[in-house]
Amino acid sequence: MSGVRVLVGTRKGAFILTADGKRQDWAVSGPHFGGWEMYHVNGSPADPDRLYASQSSGWFGQLMQRSNDGGKTWEPVGNEFTYEGETGDHLWYDGTPRPWEFKRIWHLEPSPDDPDTVYAGAEDAAIFRSTDGGGSWHELPALRTHESAPRWQPGAGGMCLHSIILDPVNSDRMFIAISAAGVFRTDDSGKSWQPVNRGLQSGQIPDPDAEVGHCVHRIAMHPSRPDVLFMQKHWDVMRSDDAGDSWHEISGDLPTDFGFPIAVHAHEPDTIYVVPIKSDSEHYPPEGKLRVYRSRTGGNEWEPLTTGLPQANCYVNVLRDAMAVDTLDPCGTYFGTTGGQVYGSADGGDTWAPIVRDLPAVLSVEVQALP
């Protein structure tokens, strides 16, 4: 591997950070699409120079950008996201029915083997797919029309579909997660979906172990073990060993029960990372110390990673799509903060350094290993 490319989406544009395999000296490109909210920028595993970027604003709505040269140049592609058929209602915050209304794309997940195929997770929650490089988008409507959908309710950030995991072994299987509905799995390429939330406990919903209604913040998988899923939920860190059929808590000795991102080490499937955040009203790191917690035992036993991270007076947040790992050896880990810092570690989290300090609030971080 010759280097890495970190793709950063922020509240006011996108930035591309590149370095060689040592990951010490970084070049910063951007802002791309300055002034626009860039919820997610992601690259195709099949063609690292093919990038997709979700661009939006409250004024001008949703746009989608595509690059064929690793982010040097971009072209706008299709931005029409239309729910198929009857839109139906979900629950609003006050418990009244509310029609589905498209707001933005939160997450883009390119296919592992076709640069022109990419999935998009929307607010209000739905999944779309493009098979022509983003030129046109078509909903997989069976998710939004699931019998439980009228009971879905938005989390504080909106009713967003924020996680999409494509099973690397079984191409018919994928997992998605919605705040605040929960995790759903399809085993037939999106023709049908089932909620897979058994074992989740959410104390502040009326039925703590309801089939849907859980505020899942993020799910992650190691590609070598597709039946094992990790989850950062609004409360608790969870694990499933049976593709979501059942979950058990692995929060162990974490200092809080809240956080947004969760990531798995590229070469150690039982090494996972979270960033504990103080819940429920503050949403900043406990004690003003920014700490990544790492478990090397698949959960329950966690160690704080602090070297190079601010350990006083730090009150940033790390959002759900703002952590990523690269596939170099040793594994690189990255995360971005609402204070505009992007931190990187070239040694699996043992030591950290800021790559950039003063970007707009970071919404998402992805990383590509470059050939």
> Could you say whether residue 256 binds another protein (CB under 8 A)?
no
Q: Are 237 and 229 in contact (CB under 8 A)?
A: no
The one-character DSSP state at 321 is B
Exposure b/e, 9-46, CB count within 10 A at least 16 = b: bbbbbbbbbbbebebeebeeebbbbeebbbbbbbbbbe
Q: Are 252 and 314 in contact (CB under 8 A)?
A: no
Q: Which of 1, 24, 80, 191 forms a contact with another protein (CB under 8 A)?
A: 80
> Could you say whether residue 363 binds another protein (CB under 8 A)?
no
Q: Which CB, 79 or 201, lies closer to another protein?
A: 79
Task: Name the token pair of 74.
Answer: 């971009």
> Could you say whether residue 189 binds another protein (CB under 8 A)?
no
> Could you say whether residue 224 binds another protein (CB under 8 A)?
no
The distance in angstroms from the start CA to the end CA of the chain is: 5
Please list every residue from 50 through 69 that binds another protein, using CB under 8 A.
57-63
Q: Which CB, 60 or 253, lies closer to another protein?
A: 60
Query: Minimum distance between the CB of residue 14 and another protein, rounded to whole angstroms?
Result: 14
Q: Which of 1, 69, 73, 76 forms a contact with another protein (CB under 8 A)?
A: 76
Q: Which CB, 74 or 184, lies closer to another protein?
A: 74
> Could you say whether residue 93 binds another protein (CB under 8 A)?
no
Query: Minimum distance between the CB of residue 137 and another protein, rounded to whole angstroms?
Result: 11
Query: Minimum distance between the CB of residue 99 and another protein, rounded to whole angstroms?
Result: 13
Binding-residue total with another protein (CB under 8 A)? 13
Q: Which CB, 61 or 208, lies closer to another protein?
A: 61
Q: Which CB, 76 or 208, lies closer to another protein?
A: 76
Q: Which CB, 60 or 93, lies closer to another protein?
A: 60
The 3-state DSSP class for residue 16 equals strand
Read off the amino acid at residue 78.
G
What's the rounded Cα separation, in Å, for the pair 225 and 326?
17
Chain Cα centroid distance, residue 219: 8
Q: Which CB, 75 or 188, lies closer to another protein?
A: 75
Q: Which CB, 59 or 147, lies closer to another protein?
A: 59
> Could you say whether residue 36 binds another protein (CB under 8 A)?
yes
Q: Which of 24, 73, 82, 189 forms a contact with another protein (CB under 8 A)?
A: 82
Q: What is the largest CA-CA distance in the chain?
A: 54
The 3-state DSSP class for residue 184 equals strand
Render 66-120 in DSSP notation, one character per residue.
EESSTTSS-EEE-------S---EEE-TTS-EEE----EEEEEEE-SS-TT-EEE
> Could you say whether residue 92 binds another protein (CB under 8 A)?
no
Q: Which of 24, 35, 85, 350 forms a contact with another protein (CB under 8 A)?
A: 35
> Could you say whether residue 86 binds another protein (CB under 8 A)?
no
- In 3D, which of 145, 153, 209 has the Cα closest to residue 179? 153
The tokens 């989740």 sit on which residue? 200
Query: Minimum distance between the CB of residue 32 and another protein, rounded to whole angstroms?
Result: 11
Q: Which CB, 359 or 369, lies closer to another protein?
A: 359
What's the rounded Cα separation, in Å, for the pair 302 and 227?
22
The 3-state DSSP class for residue 151 equals helix
What's the rounded Cα separation, in Å, for the pair 119 and 47?
16
> Could you say whether residue 128 binds another protein (CB under 8 A)?
no
The 3-state DSSP class for residue 244 equals coil
> Could you say whether residue 329 binds another protein (CB under 8 A)?
no
> Could you say whether residue 2 binds another protein (CB under 8 A)?
no
Catalog residues that contact another protein under the rule CB under 8 A. 35-36, 57-63, 76, 79-80, 82
